[in-house]
Amino acid sequence: MDTADVVTACIAGAALALSIVGLILQWVMWSRSGAVLVAEASLGFLTAGPVTKVLTVSALNKGRGSAQVTSWWLEPVGAPPESMHWYLAHLHVVGSSDLPVVIDGEQGVQWFVPRDVVEDSCRELKVTHVRPHLGLGSGRKVAGKPLRVL
């Protein structure tokens, strides 16, 4: 073996060792990753029974671990600071998930609110957007992107 072969072998060995270390680190990070919750709101229709216009609040767990959602609410975006957040759990229509709920990895749940109730509340506060929020069993809160309602 000449010097070039030895250098090539050393570089190949170092590359193999670094690849193995990288794979081990990826596995450790993957195995430790927990729940990654996302709050989303959308406008739609319930078609089971009479067609109903609804605002849907979704809690999606894009992680591998499970998480408990204990509450959810809609925040009127741009409302005066003294206005309260809307807790709309009592306005559920058929098909909503119960609270508290445990969401496993790669799963989701939904809550449905009559759209006219949300629109009327937006008109009263003179706002056009609402932001969904989730309250988790760990005490953490998750806020979603604003949704234009009016």
- Would you write out the chain's pLDDT as a tens digit for each of its 150 residues? 788 888 898 999 999 999 999 999 888 777 667 888 999 999 999 887 788 899 999 999 988 889 999 999 888 888 877 666 665 545 556 678 888 999 998 899 999 888 888 898 889 888 999 999 999 999 999 999 999 999
Q: Are residues 28 and 86 located together in one domain of the fold?
A: no
Q: Are residues 55 and 25 located together in one domain of the fold?
A: no
Distance CA 25, CA 32 (A): 11
Asked whether the beta carbons of 39 and 55 are under 8 A apart, the reply is: no
27: which residues sit within 8 A by CB, 6+ positions away?
none
Alpha helix stretches (DSSP H) within the chain:
3-32, 115-125
- Give whole-number Cα distances, 10 to 1, 14, 16, 17, 94, in Å: 13, 6, 10, 11, 66
Q: How many domains does the chain have?
A: 2
Q: Range of 10's domain?
A: 1-32
Helix, strand, or coil (residue 14): helix
Distance CA 139, CA 118 (A): 26
Q: Are residues 125 and 77 located together in one domain of the fold?
A: yes
Q: Are residues 44 and 23 located together in one domain of the fold?
A: no
| β strands within the chain, DSSP E | 37-46, 52-61, 67-77, 101-103, 108-114, 129-136, 141-143, 147-148
Q: Are residues 57 and 22 located together in one domain of the fold?
A: no
Asked whether the beta carbons of 59 and 141 are under 8 A apart, the reply is: no
Q: Are residues 44 and 118 located together in one domain of the fold?
A: yes
Q: Are residues 67 and 105 located together in one domain of the fold?
A: yes
Q: Are residues 22 and 94 located together in one domain of the fold?
A: no
Identify the CATH number of the domain in which residue 54 sits. Answer: 2.60.40
pTM: 0.76
Q: Are residues 50 and 28 located together in one domain of the fold?
A: no
> Which pLDDT value is given to residue 64?
84
> Which pLDDT value is given to residue 114?
86
Q: Are residues 24 and 80 located together in one domain of the fold?
A: no
Q: Are residues 80 and 143 located together in one domain of the fold?
A: yes
> Which pLDDT value is given to residue 83?
66
- Strands 141-143 and 129-136: what pairing? antiparallel
Q: Are residues 140 and 81 located together in one domain of the fold?
A: yes
